[in-house]
Amino acid sequence: MSLRGRDLVSIRDLSREEITAVLDAARRMIPLAEGRKSGAQLRGRIVAMAFFEPSTRTRLSFESAVQRLGGSCITIADAGATSIRKGESLYDTIRMLTSYADAIVLRHPKEGAARLAARASDRPVINAGDGAGQHPTQTLLDLATIRERFGTLSGLRVVLFGDLKFGRTVHSLAYALALFGSELILSGPEGLRLPAEHRAELAQQGAKVREEPDAAAAIREADVLYVTRIQKERFPDEAEYRRVAGTYRIDAKSLEGAKKEMIVMHPLPRVGEIAPEVDATPHAAYFRQSFLAVPVRMALLAAILAGGRGGD
Amino acid sequence: MRELKITPIRNGTVIDHITNGLAFEVLRILGPRQLGRDSTISVAVHVRSGKLGWKDIVKVENIELTPRTVNAIALIAPTATISIIHDFRVREKRTVDLPAKIVGVLRCPNANCISNQPEPLESEFDVVARRPTVLACAFCERRVDEFLTHLA
């Protein structure tokens, strides 16, 4: 079981054991991610950051991960400045990048772009988000956050709250949590429920899933409250967006009935779903979550490029 | 051979046991405009069938179907049988079987899928369930269980 030389397009590309191995390695990467130790697993390696869609935290955390391990990056951060604008296909762009870099991290607005890139490239491709499709490293860092706090990914009650229809992070996360045997409770606005296709898949997987339309009731029994951003760009018009967005917001009051050890997570950026006052409560885990992006991505890059277990 | 309401063909292909009403979709797949000058297509619609109750039949002279065409027929008319005729004799008769991958037959219904972009690739679907058939796009993983409107 080695990730060396492998692509990571979807979280489904990894077995439960492989996910666990990456999370273990990520834990050992934390002192390096904090800059307290230095790593060298990627020395002499170049990783291409091919970002065809705006992204701050994903790109910067990948760049930080590469550099913390002694590697270097070449970056496309603005697709408008590349020959894509001249009509070059993604396929050709990826072929070109394979001769400049040892691995490619891709963010692209079209679903399936990472699968295409993986076929075009003889170097490993890591999907950093393709449209409304997959974002497997986000799922890994979400799992790392939960596991760091609870020491396990099994037997927890995880409330997925908010935009379950368009939020790509929740689809992969739901799959992975079900893989580890946690219970999923779905809550949020009526029009943004989990699509039937995903529900059917979870059912097929044997997942424990149920709906709890009453947010307060869901929060009371949660070990993890995973809040997602309502994606404005997915709505047909502004008025509809505002109507739905206004219906849910987590503040200190809404957490009053929560278990003491319950954590609130969010893939960030938030736009009003979580009030800033929640930051000061012991429940807030979203900034830790965004920090863990670095050690998780370090562990993954080390495993794929150096075959290392990372941090050893 | 009471079902032979149209004349037997010397050489070519008979697509039998097509779900009643789908003969014209099969024709669309065959692309009659691309046929050579020696090809004639005969169609029988609403023919009595012991197996299906009613069925359609399409006969194409002097043509053997490509695997891609057979796959497309298998998707929309899974009950169809295909007979290759040589000199009025059935040389080979088989049901249409879906392979594990369907390449170049359907367009992905997801407008935002990379396979609908001007990239050097063919559409590709994995068969994820049979009876009824469900496909998943090999790129964006979108599931498809209705094929007529997505034929490429």
Q: Which residues of B touch A134 (CB under 8 A)?
A: 141
Query: Tens of pLDDT along A64-97?
Result: 999 999 999 999 887 665 656 667 899 999 999 9
Confidence of residue A236 (pLDDT cuts 50, 70, 90): confident
Q: What is the per-residue pLDDT for A242?
A: 80
Specify the higher pLDDT residue, A112 or A228.
A112
Query: With 90 as the cut, is the pLDDT of residue B35 above it?
Result: no
Largest CA distance in chain B: 50
Interface of A with B (CB under 8 A): 10, 89-92, 108-113, 115-116, 119, 130-134, 197
Q: What is the pLDDT of residue B5?
A: 63
Q: Where are the domains of chain B?
A: 12-95, 101-150
Instruction: State the pLDDT at residue A184.
Output: 96
Chain B residues in contact with A130 by the CB 8 A cut-off are 114, 140
Contacts of B118 in chain A (CB under 8 A): 89
Q: Does domain A137-289 have CATH number 3.40.50.1370?
A: yes
- Burial class of A125 by CB neighbour count within 10 A (0 to 12, 13 to 18, 19+): buried
With cut-offs at 50, 70 and 90, classify the pLDDT of residue B34: low
What integer is the mean pLDDT of A207-215?
A: 92
Same fold, B12-95 and B101-150: no
Give the homologous superfamily in CATH for domain A11-134+293-306.
Aspartate/ornithine carbamoyltransferase (3.40.50.1370)
Q: Pick from A230, A146, A251, A224: which is nearest to A188 by CA?
A: A230
Whether A57 is catalytic: yes
Mean pLDDT in residue range A137-147? 98
Best residue of B122, B139, B143 to probe chain A, by most A CBs closer than 10 Å: B139
Please determine, for residue A172, whether its predicted confidence score (pLDDT) is greater than 70: yes
CA distance B117 to chain A (A): 9
Interface test with B, best of A107, A115, A172, A205 (most B CBs within 10 A): A115
Helix, strand, or coil (residue A127) = strand
Q: What is the mean pLDDT of residues A40-48?
A: 96
8 Å CB contact between B46 and B22? no
Q: What is the pLDDT of residue B33?
A: 66
> Which pLDDT does position A1 carry in this prediction?
62
**Buried/exposed code over A197-231 (b: 16+ C-beta within 10 A; e: otherwise):** ebbebbeeeebebeebeebeebbbebbbbbbbbbb
CATH code: domain B12-95 is: 3.30.70.140
The whole-number pLDDT of residue A124 equals 98
User: First-to-last CA distance in chain A?
Assistant: 17
Catalytic site includes residue A98: no
Is pLDDT larger for residue A288 or for residue B76? A288
Q: What mean pLDDT is predicted for residues A271-277?
A: 91
What does the pLDDT read at residue A245? Answer: 73
pLDDT at A165: 83
Cross-chain Cβ contact B140/A111 below 8 Å: yes
pLDDT above 90: percentage of residues in chain A? 70
Q: Which helix (H) or strand (E) holds A197?
A: helix A196-204
User: What are the structure tokens assigned to B127, written together?
Assistant: 């068969």
At residue B17 the predicted structure's pLDDT band, cuts being 50, 70 and 90, is: very high
A281 is catalytic: no
Domain boundaries, chain A: 11-134+293-306, 137-289
- In chain B, % helix, strand, coil (3-state, to 5) comes to 20, 40, 45
Of B114, B140, B142, the CB nearest to A90: B114
User: How far is it, in rounded angstroms, from Cα A211 to Cα B109?
Assistant: 29
How far is Cα B122 from Cα B116, in angstroms, rounded to an integer?
9
Q: What is the pLDDT of residue A311?
A: 40
Inform me whether the C-beta atom of residue B110 falls under 8 Å from chain A C-beta atoms: yes
Same fold, A11-134+293-306 and A137-289: yes
pLDDT digits (tens, 9 = 90+) for A297-308: 999 999 999 986
Pairing type for strands A72-76 and A46-51 reads parallel
pLDDT band at A312 (very low <50, low <70, confident <90, very high): very low
Strand order in the sheet with B89-95: B41-49, B53-61, B12-19, B81-86, B89-95
Contact between A229 and A188 under an 8 Å Cβ cutoff? The reply is: no
Asked whether the beta carbons of A54 and A269 are under 8 A apart, the reply is no
Order the strands of the A103-108 sheet from edge to edge. A72-76, A46-51, A103-108, A125-130
CA distance A16 to A153: 11
pLDDT of residue B46: 94
The mean per-residue pLDDT over the stretch A238-265 comes to 88
Mean pLDDT, rounded, of chain B = 88
Which CATH class for the B101-150 domain?
mainly beta
Q: Specify the 3-state DSSP secondary structure of A284.
A: strand
| Residues B62-115 pLDDT 10s | 888 888 888 899 898 889 999 999 999 999 898 888 889 999 999 999 999 999
Specify the pLDDT at position A261. Answer: 97
